[in-house]
Amino acid sequence: MFINKYGLTTLSYKAVYSYQSIKLFILFRIVDPFMHYIFFATLASALVGTSYLKFVVLGNIVYYTCQTMMINFINMFRMERRYGTLELNIASPTNTLYVIIKKGIVPLLDSLFVFLISIILGGILFDLNLPINNIVNIIFLCLVTMFTMFCFSLLFACISLVFSNVNLFLNITLAFLQIFCGVNFGVNKLPEVLEFISRLLPLTHSIEALRTIYRITKYEVTSLLLKELTLGFCYLILSLILVISMEKLARKNGELFKDI
């Protein structure tokens, strides 16, 4: 069903996916994550020593996966707006949400690839040996994290339509996630109010769960993933409300936002 040559997923991939050649794909989906991990691993090593390296790399694996998903989503919406197909999506008899979900398969698969390759890279370069006896937890974590990231990215991409400079909004959001989701340090180091906020963000619990699976921290994995899943559903509901409201607004006014 998904490999329909003229389906929405394939057409969306052909139209807006940035890295369609093998060279670009290797560079941006293997080399770039690798450089990202090396960068933060070096930063952490220089600051607090090599004993902390695995902690940082695992946090950044989840972060980079989310970054891939968000950039893909935002790119999809931006291109739709640039080529004027956003209006066509709304005007078409197909349900808008169905269109978005079908097109969202490309970001989902892209991020999944990044996550898997990062786990392999982590094993080869940072001695992060995959705990085979915990494989069920890893699969569960992967599914839950992808779902929550997907819902959050959808919400984020909808909000991005309000901004005239999407890049600035994207970069600030990514920086916000870097700091408040415990990517490089535990969220327990944050002041209480900020820790509370961080527990409402999509990556925090997944990062803690991944570190626990790799025996770096000691938390209850199932409980963390259930919290992450609940957050995912909350983001899904919010994004659904936003998509439906924006669609209604667009149908009523004949445009989405003026002067953007």
Partner 1 sequence: MTTINWLTLLVREIKYFTNFENKMYQFLLFFQPLMFLSIVYFLNEYRGDINDGRFVIASALISMWSYVLYSSGSALTSQKWSDTLKLLLVSPVSLSAILMTKVISNSFIAMFSMLLSFIYAKFIFNFKVEIASYTLFSIAILVLILSLSVMGLILAIVFVAFQNVYDYQNLILTPMVLMCGVFIPVEQFPLVVKVVSYIIPMTWGIKSVYEALQLSSPIYTTMTISILISLFYLLAAFFIIKRIELLLRKTGKLGAI
How far is Cα 175 from Cα 155, in angstroms, rounded to an integer?
17
Tokens of 204: 């925090």
User: CB–CB of 9/2 below 8 Å?
Assistant: yes
Considering the rule CB under 8 A, would residue 35 count as an interface residue with partner 1?
A: yes
Cβ atoms < 10 Å from Cβ of 155: 22
User: CB–CB of 60/106 below 8 Å?
Assistant: no
45-49: list long-range contacts, CB under 8 Å, 24+ apart: none
| DSSP conformation class of 201 | S
How far is Cα 23 from Cα 40, in angstroms, rounded to an integer?
25
The least CB distance from residue 82 to partner 1, in Å, is 15
Q: Which is nearer to partner 1, 92 or 165 (CB)?
A: 165
Which residue, among 154, 170, 155, 174, has the nearest Cα to 63 in the 3D structure?
174
Residue type, 123: G
How far is Cα 133 from Cα 215, in angstroms, rounded to an integer?
12
The least CB distance from residue 212 to partner 1, in Å, is 18
First to last CA, the chain: 36
Q: Which is nearer to partner 1, 34 or 87 (CB)?
A: 34
Q: Which is nearer to partner 1, 77 or 180 (CB)?
A: 180
Instruction: Show contacts with partner 1 in window 187-206 (CB under 8 A).
Output: 189-190
Q: Got the DSSP string for 123-171?
A: HHHH-----GGGHHHHHHHHHHHHHHHHHHHHHHHHHHTT-S-HHHHHH
Tokens of 88: 């066509």
The least CB distance from residue 193 to partner 1, in Å, is 15
Q: Which one among 89, 134, 137, 178 touches partner 1, defined by CB under 8 A? A: 178
Q: Which is nearer to partner 1, 39 or 98 (CB)?
A: 39
The least CB distance from residue 219 to partner 1, in Å, is 18
Instruction: Show contacts with partner 1 in window 38-67 (CB under 8 A).
Output: 38-39, 42-49, 52
Considering the rule CB under 8 A, would residue 125 count as an interface residue with partner 1?
A: no
Q: Which one among 168, 237, 244, 249 touches partner 1, defined by CB under 8 A? A: 168
Q: Which is nearer to partner 1, 42 or 92 (CB)?
A: 42
The least CB distance from residue 241 to partner 1, in Å, is 28
Considering the rule CB under 8 A, would residue 36 count as an interface residue with partner 1?
A: yes
Question: CB under 8 A: which stretch of 37-45, 73-81, 207-215, 226-234 binds partner 1?
Answer: 37-45
Considering the rule CB under 8 A, would residue 24 count as an interface residue with partner 1?
A: yes
Distance of CA 48 to the CA centre of its chain: 28
Which residues are near partner 1 by CB under 8 A? 24, 27-28, 31-32, 35-36, 38-39, 42-49, 52, 164-165, 167-168, 171-172, 175, 178-179, 184-185, 189-190
